[in-house]
Structure 1
Amino acid sequence: MKKNILLALGFFIFLACSPRKDGYLNRKYQGFTTFYNVLFNGEEALNTELKQRDKSHRDNFHAPYIKLLTYDEQISSSQMESLGMSDDESVIPPAGFYNDDINVNSLSSGSRVSTLEIAEMKAQKAIEKHSMLFKGEEKNKTIFDAYLVLAKARLFQNKPLEALDALNTVQKIYKKDKRLSLAKVYEAYTYGKMKDYYRADETFRELKENKKLKKSEKKLLSIFYSEMLLNAGKKEEAVTELESAYQLNKNKKLRSRIAFLRGQILANLGKNEEARESFVTAYKNARNFEFEVKSQVEIAKTFNGKDDDYEGAKEYLEKISKKGTYASRKNEFYYALGLMAKKAGKKEEAQEFFQKSIKEKISDPQVRGLAYYEIGKKFFEDNDYLSAGVYYDSAYAAMNYTPAKEELKSLTENIKDISKNYYLIKKNDSILKLTKMSNDERIAFFNKHIEGIKAKEAKEELERKKAEKESKNRVETVDFALLGNTDNNNSFLDFNASKGFYFANQTTISKGEREFKQIWGNRALTDNWRTSTKMNSIEDLKNEALGITAAPDPRRYEPDFYIEKIPTKTEEILALKKDRDTASLGLGRMYENFFSNTSLATKTLYDLVDSKTDEETELQALYQIFSMNYEKTPSAAERAKQLILEKYPYTSYAEFVKNPKKADFTTSDSEVEKIYTQAFALYAEEKYDDSRKMIEETLLKYPKDVLVPKFTLLNAFNTGKTAGKEIMILQLEQLMLNYAKTPEGVKAKEMLQYMKSDLKVEQFDSNGNLINNNALNKPKMEIQNPEAQRGNSLENSSSQKNPKTPPVKLKTNWESNDPGLQPLNPKK
């Protein structure tokens, strides 16, 4: 018997080691050893990593869309830190992952080896040691699995090109394998990762037409395809594919995610009714508390204020927010109720819900920030900019979704600029109004103001006494259970010898501070810090902006105390008016530039014009009104146009309103580029008249070419060399007004600031006589008399008796380093 066994064993060994390497037994032997010797550990490493990713995944419900697959994205160090994980808490591969012949230090540039790198190396080792490739065909069936593990490991390391290489190889060496369709599914998925959406879509469509696909492959395909379509911007098609994915996949957790994502897309498309149905489905299939809460919030967001039952929906949300664990998320439900009330047109009720939301314990920092934002938005709409700015700042501090946070950052900065101007105008208006009152009117005004102060202080004193009485009657008690319970790890007063006193441990103190800030934000050490501090700070900021001191003055009940502070000198009153008008001009510009609120900007600037401001400010205000309205609302621009033509007929602004040029340029013609090069060469050779003539002919022939601003700037330089500085200034002003947003327009503005700084403007009366007025020698924006313009022209110098500004003969510092006046660079 022993002899027969030895003979049989020897026979099998001979067959396995025979020259016929692709023999049946050898194939089975190699397949067996491939899996159990190497590939098994590779698959275990891959599965361990994906399970860990799924376990540590945290959905960002404030991003436009959630991810369907919770293991798809690599967790970064910052994400691990936010989840409370340190680098030491990364996945520890099970025993057997490492072999002596694998140099793990070469797998990763960092000190920690990822399990995906281990899986990749194991798959490569399996292919190298156990491949049976004969005549371009792989005989070892298990190598297919090795290539698939290799592709997945590379995919989830965000190496799609290397993954695609593995998938292409497996399709090349397994031409008739039944599992090729699975490789094609991952191939399409990889194209999507590479953002080659055309190839991905083409491959997915081919697979969907394949009737031999297994059910498991159809499930995977539907998930991959729907996400690819969404990433490609094909939202309608993505919704259809998600419906198919929902039918194919019976796992309730995945179904919940599919329904939630579908609802997000439909809501983005404005299909609120369908979106709500999808969120309801997500809620019914939800397998975790977070998904249940967020589904309810999203259902509330789809509320239609016109047709939906607001009272019924409100009653439902208020009811479930008090049930069990839902009570810990009251702040989110109150936020959702506020959104519903807002859509229903109940603005005051909406504000009450948002206020309740910020008073509840925080469960989601982004929701807390959004609640602050909604309160601030209401103040902003009511033109209470300082209050809006305070709430926007709180929203910015609370939010943790970076895109929304960054968008809010610029808004808060703009609000601060607007607030500064708004309250300066308000304060100066109040003072100027007092300067126009009689003494009796002032006394009556301040007596009323004093009565208000007394009533406010009496109320504050009453509240102080009430709080003091309550404090005396309160019995101070100590929870001795905290002192005695040394076994409780959460004990506040922990005198355990191994851990020490709570406040003696810096780690526990830091942890406590972080938790407090996460829940309450930054709070001052004052009474009623939960609710009253925010409103007190707003009131303090308003008073500070209006110049009202917080410290009480002993003379605050005397009208003379206030009357003495009213300015009486003419120059002080004029300075107040000037500051007020400058702030109004800036405020009008801000409304347009920051918020595109043209109607409010126009109203603010027309109010400034009607307040009888100085000529320079009035002209700037009228120009701003015309430039922002002449295309959108010509009727609003007409009055500004007529006032400019009537009051400032000889200015560059008058020329602009007569014929405003739109900067709707086409692409540059190659012929125009050649002409500009020639014109610039003539300027460099000091042939200024020839250069000017060439430019004027080109502008008539090509009025819409993109080089028009460059031609105009070059022509201004020609003018400066021949006709003088003042005429050059006029041309630069036209360039600045007509092409303000081009590099040449910006350069013209910078040059004008320099050139006007030393320009003395001379004015003449109707008879041509020089008006000697020292005040006129200050830099001005325009020349009031056309004769003065012609008097400064080199061509008319022989027929004019007026002094002229000599042409610019030397190269000045405003020209020497000018990037706006250069020959064209063929590479740009």
Structure 2
Amino acid sequence: MKITYKIPLLLTIFGFIYACGPKKDSIIRRNYQALTTKYNVLFNGKEAFRKGIENINTNYKDDWFQRLPIEPIVFEEDKIAVPKFNSGPGAGFGGNNNDDKKELTTFDKAEEKAVKAIQKHGMNINGIERNRQIDNAYLLLGKSRYYQQRFIPAIEAFNYVIASYPGADLINETKVWRAKANIRNDNEERAIESMKLLLIVKDTLERDLPEKIKEQGYTALAMAYIKSDSLQKAKESLSFATRTLKNKEQGARNLFILGQMYAAENKKDSASMVFKKLIDFKKAPYKYKIHANIELAKNSPNDSTSTIVLKTLDKLIKNRDNRPYLDELYYQKAVLLLKNDSIDLAIENYNKSLRAKNAGDKQKTFTYEKLGNLSFKDSKYINASAYYDSVMQISKDSLDLRIRRVKRKHKNLASLIKFEETVTVNDSIIKIASLSKEDQKQFFEDYISKIKKADEDAAQLRLNQLAFGNSNAGLLSGGKGKWYFYNAQSLNFGKTEFQKVWGTRKLEDNWRWSEKATIGNNTKDSAKVSKVNVRYNLDTYLSGIPTEKEAIDSLKTSRNDALYELGLIYKEQFKNLNLAKKRLERVAKLQPKKELILPINWHLYQIYTTQQDLDKANTYKNVILTQYPDTKFAQVILNPSKKIKEDEVKIDEVETTYKEMYYLYKDNKYAEVISSINEFTPTIVNSNLLPKFELLKAYAIGKNENKEAYVKALEYVSVNYGSTEEGKKAKAILGKLTN
């Protein structure tokens, strides 16, 4: 009997389902399918799409040192294939033949829901779609494919909407998305044409486009112009796009990019106006506002406004909400202070930028580079090298031109630092070696006391950190908690660290004395303690002091050579004549090797001549003329060649001439090479190729004349062009000839 009553109910349900099915056209069926599509399948698809956009905005890391892309997304050049779903027209063809099920992304899920809406709820009857939500499904399908980097299938979906639903309220939005897909597909010309047609010609039934569509359209147009390098037109499009700011995220981004473009053209007033508008935009995400303030500081036009900007930066630094941006704020404050010649304050703020929590790696590279440049300018080359080294250690972009420039600076400083270290170390050893035995002993006893005290302080600091690094909850509660002596792991670690420094000792007075280290007859422990405490052993240091005259003379020779090389580097490479003068004058007083006397006097003569100190210059000139009258240096002083500007001879002509002379040399025409170079070199005194000609002439002299003439020619090249490859080659040959 109960079954009899259920039959009519089941028939009614099946009849309702049949009446609401998508196969026949009726009011009930259309409304039911539209309602189900909108609030069931499409709702879930749009939610997945929204989450995908949120993930992009959250996870994308902007490089604020470069002009931002209009869309915060990076598409890969080689995209891995993603699943496809069966659907109707515009939705792609074929299914997913891959049996291995992969975890779907949010955009995959959005596409899957859009396809399901089209397949299950489409009411295409007699060529006309009766479900008014299907156009939304196709738009969602295209947008999902766009973010999956499947631009051609996305364009298919957008084209289907435009062709099949010309009167739909989303037709204009679909045209914007199609333009964006064309841009990503390297077809920006078509995108520009379609956006001009939409925004200017207005190929729409509406008399005027909604503000939201205008904003989207001009943003897409700016994307296309940037892709085609039409930056002026891109700025115009961004100006139109930022009039309304309906989309707070994209609107704020557009304003920031527009400000960056004005700043790149050095239009500081226009840039400042745009950044101020962004700061005043209440709905803008905070990251754009804080960076707009930083950009305002960068574009501070003069000293009067920079004072106001500094106060603004100080206010931002004090705001606890700005902790994630402290590295950038301190850096920009330092830049402004440096402009105002407050160098010490600038250095202080650069260091604060480095110490800021969560400081970005790229920001650190800029900060270290600035500190390196300041040290270099102040002739603190060792410090500069350390800062440049930090830049290279942090940076992962070896192709960046800025990083490559820093790398070249660091490489140029490498030999300088090596020679400076040689001078410092050898000076110290020579000074200690000259002391009496008692003074040497006293010197090293004082040194050992200092390092013992330093080791003791370091060990105590480690113990304190272990003991009080955690809370005292265990001590206060009376149970075994987090106190140091209740933690077996910390206790064992502390004991091991103590023994590494002090060895095994009794608990007694004066336990730090070295003789207290050996306990019992344990040979292994004794050997370990002896090894650990070698730094405190006076004999270790005393035995290392050279006593033989030959060893001390060798130290002096290497020091003098290093001083001479430093003089050349400072003079020729870094153009620091004062430091070059100090190094060369010092080595001149230290009885250098005989072969260094002539070049030292020559370089000092050139330095003082450049500095217009003629009295000093004449002193070194007279040494050359009286003691070395037959050298080429003396001939240059007595008969200076007429100087002709380098641009009077074209570089390609110089290269051609060098090749001709090189071929003459290869043909064993050495005399002709020598005479030709003598005639040609006075016309290229400022050319970078001059060292090549001089070395080639030296080679020809070596083949055509005696050894003495060959040595003189090589000496001239090695001394006059010591920092070049040719000078180094000449020096190496001289070393072999004179040994």
In which range does the TM-score fall when normalised by the shorter chain? 0.5 to 0.7
Q: How far is 1:43 from its partner?
A: 3.4
Classify 1:378/1:714 alpha carbon distance in 2 versus 1 (closer, same or farther; 3 Å): closer
Aligned match of 1:56: 58
User: Which amino acid letter does the alignment assign opposite residue 409 of structure 2?
Assistant: N
- Superposed CA deviations along residues 480-515 of structure 1, whole A, max 9, x for unmatched, are 337899xxxxx9899xxxxx99999xxxxxxxxxxx
Partner residue of 1:40 out of 30, 39, 42: 42
* SS at 1:106 equivalent: coil
Q: Distance in 1 between matches of 2:678 and 2:44?
A: 72
- Superposed CA deviations along residues 379-422 of structure 1, whole A, max 9, x for unmatched, are 1211212211222333444568x489773365145314424225
Q: Could you tell me whether the CA contact under 8 Å between 1:431 and 1:566 is conserved in 2?
A: no
Partner residue of 2:244 out of 238, 241, 248: 248
Aligned match of 1:411: 406
Q: How far is 1:466 from its partner?
A: 10
User: Which amino acid letter does the alignment assign opposite residue 300 of structure 1?
Assistant: A
Partner residue of 2:472 out of 449, 469, 480: 480
Aligned match of 2:305: 308
Q: Could you tell me whether the CA contact under 8 Å between 1:482 and 1:493 is conserved in 2?
A: yes
* SS at 1:321 equivalent: helix
Q: Distance in 1 between matches of 2:50 and 2:257?
A: 26
Partner residue of 2:382 out of 365, 371, 386: 386
User: Which amino acid letter does the alignment assign opposite residue 761 of structure 1?
Assistant: K
Q: Distance in 2 between matches of 1:492 and 1:237?
A: 66
Is 1:191 paired with 2:189? no
Classify 1:645/1:420 alpha carbon distance in 2 versus 1 (closer, same or farther; 3 Å): closer
Q: How far is 1:344 from its partner?
A: 2.0
Aligned match of 1:269: 265
Aligned match of 1:633: none
Q: Distance in 2 between matches of 1:371 and 1:759?
A: 52
Q: Distance in 2 between matches of 1:420 and 1:782?
A: 21
User: Which amino acid letter does the alignment assign opposite residue 66 of structure 1?
Assistant: L
Q: How far is 1:339 from its partner?
A: 2.0
Q: How far is 1:603 from its partner?
A: 9.6
Q: Distance in 2 between matches of 1:169 and 1:731?
A: 78
* SS at 2:318 equivalent: coil
Q: Distance in 1 between matches of 2:156 and 2:656?
A: 51
Q: Could you tell me whether the CA contact under 8 Å between 1:736 and 1:749 is conserved in 2?
A: no
TM-score normalised by structure 2 residue count: 0.58
Provide the aligned C-alpha RMSD in A. 6.9
User: Which amino acid letter does the alignment assign opposite residue 50 of structure 1?
Assistant: G
Q: Distance in 1 between matches of 2:182 and 2:413?
A: 48
Classify 1:291/1:462 alpha carbon distance in 2 versus 1 (closer, same or farther; 3 Å): farther
Aligned match of 2:366: 370
Q: How far is 1:352 from its partner?
A: 1.9
- Superposed CA deviations along residues 99-129 of structure 1, whole A, max 9, x for unmatched, are xx99767399x94333434444555676678
Q: Distance in 1 between matches of 2:75 and 2:211?
A: 28
Q: Could you tell me whether the CA contact under 8 Å between 2:444 and 2:538 is conserved in 1?
A: no
- Superposed CA deviations along residues 349-379 of structure 1, whole A, max 9, x for unmatched, are 1112223333443444444443333322211
Partner residue of 1:205 out of 196, 215, 223: 196
* SS at 1:190 equivalent: helix
Aligned match of 1:298: 295
Instruction: Summarize the alignment of residues 352-501 of structure 1 with structure 2, pairs less than 5 Å apart.
Output: 352-398=348-394, 402=397, 407-408=402-403, 411-412=406-407, 414-421=409-416, 424=419, 479-481=471-473
Q: How far is 1:616 from its partner?
A: 12
Q: How far is 1:265 from its partner?
A: 2.8
Q: How far is 1:26 from its partner?
A: 12
Is 1:762 paired with 2:718? no
Classify 1:353/1:15 alpha carbon distance in 2 versus 1 (closer, same or farther; 3 Å): closer
Q: Could you tell me whether the CA contact under 8 Å between 2:22 and 2:33 is conserved in 1?
A: no
Q: How far is 1:204 from its partner?
A: 2.5
Q: Distance in 2 between matches of 1:15 and 1:568?
A: 104
User: Which amino acid letter does the alignment assign opposite residue 403 of structure 2?
Assistant: L
Aligned match of 1:85: none
* SS at 1:358 equivalent: helix
Q: Distance in 2 between matches of 1:350 and 1:14?
A: 75
Q: Could you tell me whether the CA contact under 8 Å between 2:333 and 2:349 is conserved in 1?
A: yes
- Superposed CA deviations along residues 671-728 of structure 1, whole A, max 9, x for unmatched, are xxxxxxxxxxxxxxxxxxxxxxxxxxxxxxxx7xxxx97998599669846x658868
User: Which amino acid letter does the alignment assign opposite residue 703 of structure 2?
Assistant: V
Q: How far is 1:60 from its partner?
A: 1.9
Kindly tell me the number of residue pairs found equivalent between the two proteins: 603
Q: How far is 1:228 from its partner?
A: 3.9
Q: Which runs of 5+ in 1 are unaligned?
A: 78-100, 486-490, 495-499, 505-524, 527-550, 592-599, 626-642, 666-702, 740-744, 764-772, 785-828
Classify 1:68/1:453 alpha carbon distance in 2 versus 1 (closer, same or farther; 3 Å): farther
- Superposed CA deviations along residues 762-806 of structure 1, whole A, max 9, x for unmatched, are 32xxxxxxxxx555677976999xxxxxxxxxxxxxxxxxxxxxx
User: Which amino acid letter does the alignment assign opposite residue 349 of structure 1?
Assistant: L
Is 1:218 paired with 2:217? no
TM-score normalised by structure 1 residue count: 0.53
Q: Distance in 2 between matches of 1:492 and 1:223?
A: 59
Partner residue of 1:106 out of 98, 117, 123: 98
Worse overlay, 201-210 or 414-423: 414-423
User: Which amino acid letter does the alignment assign opposite residue 361 of structure 1?
Assistant: K
- Superposed CA deviations along residues 657-682 of structure 1, whole A, max 9, x for unmatched, are 898886677xxxxxxxxxxxxxxxxx
Q: Distance in 2 between matches of 1:566 and 1:304?
A: 64
Aligned match of 1:800: none
Q: Distance in 1 between matches of 2:191 and 2:683?
A: 48
Q: Distance in 2 between matches of 1:482 and 1:404?
A: 54
Q: Distance in 1 between matches of 2:26 and 2:459?
A: 95
Q: Could you tell me whether the CA contact under 8 Å between 2:138 and 2:161 is conserved in 1?
A: yes
Q: How far is 1:220 from its partner?
A: 1.5
Classify 1:290/1:29 alpha carbon distance in 2 versus 1 (closer, same or farther; 3 Å): closer
User: Which amino acid letter does the alignment assign opposite residue 214 of structure 2?
Assistant: K
Aligned match of 1:812: none
Higher percent of residues as helix: 2
Aligned match of 1:766: none
Q: Could you tell me whether the CA contact under 8 Å between 2:245 and 2:252 is conserved in 1?
A: no
Classify 1:35/1:372 alpha carbon distance in 2 versus 1 (closer, same or farther; 3 Å): same
